[in-house]
Amino acid sequence: MKAIAVIDQNRAIGSAGELLCRLPGDLVHFKKTTLGKTVIMGRKTLDSLPGGKPLPGRNTIVLSRKARLGRFYDDGSFSGFFLSSPEEVLAYIKNEIHGEEVFIAGGEQIYRLFLDQCDELILTELIHAFPDADSYFPEFRDQFILAEEGPLQEENGYRYRINRYRRS
């Protein structure tokens, strides 16, 4: 599986339940990368999405300890499940996904739960620090090496690169 995230220079990913900043180019990249694939996210990240709904065109698995099991929003564009433990997520991937790509899409709790299972990280790295952040991507540089460095981009006053890391 692969983790996909936007991080700042200190690995910050969020503040007060929201993303750090809006980067239209990164949203295009996220959509292009994950469309038609399975995306795993925490319940707080689901709540932060527009209308608290999963992203269209992806099979979304939401991790929550609360009892909300069952398929949700299966109207042709939204679909997915709540699962209640990381073990259930891993069993679902093993039994149902059959080798297709799976993306860990946050937030902090979910990145921490699955980092050890990831073989690749796709990180949009901001050349900027957000001192008010309260959510962080886990330390990864001890386990991963930079495999592909993307071009320097600038949007809304933020400079960033989209980089790929592989397990060292």
Ligand X SMILES: NC(=O)c1ccc[n+]([C@@H]2O[C@H](COP(=O)([O-])OP(=O)(O)OC[C@H]3O[C@@H](n4cnc5c(N)ncnc54)[C@H](OP(=O)(O)O)[C@@H]3O)[C@@H](O)[C@H]2O)c1
Joined together, the tokens standing for residue 127 give 């050349």
104 touches ligand X by CB under 6 A: no
Smaller CB separation from ligand X, 39 or 100: 39
Q: Which of 2, 14, 38, 40 binds ligand X (CB under 6 A)?
A: 14
Distance CA 130, CA 101 (A): 31
Joined together, the tokens standing for residue 129 give 């620090």
3-state secondary structure of 103: strand
Q: How far is the CB of 70 from ligand X (least distance, A)?
A: 14
Smaller CB separation from ligand X, 27 or 145: 27
109 touches ligand X by CB under 6 A: yes
Stretch that binds ligand X, among 53-61, 69-77, 103-111, 147-155 (CB under 6 A): 103-111
135 touches ligand X by CB under 6 A: yes
Q: How far is the CB of 151 from ligand X (least distance, A)?
A: 19
54 touches ligand X by CB under 6 A: no
Stretch that binds ligand X, among 17-25, 49-57, 92-100, 145-153 (CB under 6 A): 17-25
- C-alpha distances in Å from residue 88, one per residue of 17, 66, 95, 133, 140: 25, 14, 10, 30, 24
Q: Are 131 and 30 in contact (CB under 8 A)?
A: no
Q: Are 79 and 73 in contact (CB under 8 A)?
A: yes
Closest CA to 22 of 158, 145, 140: 158
Q: How far is the CB of 74 from ligand X (least distance, A)?
A: 20
Give, as ranges, the residues between 58 and 97 that touch ligand X (CB under 6 A): 63-66, 84-86
Show the beta-strand stretches assigned E in 72-138: 79-83, 102-104, 120-126, 135-136
Which residues are near ligand X by CB under 6 A?
5-6, 13-14, 17-19, 41-45, 48, 63-66, 84-86, 105-110, 113, 135
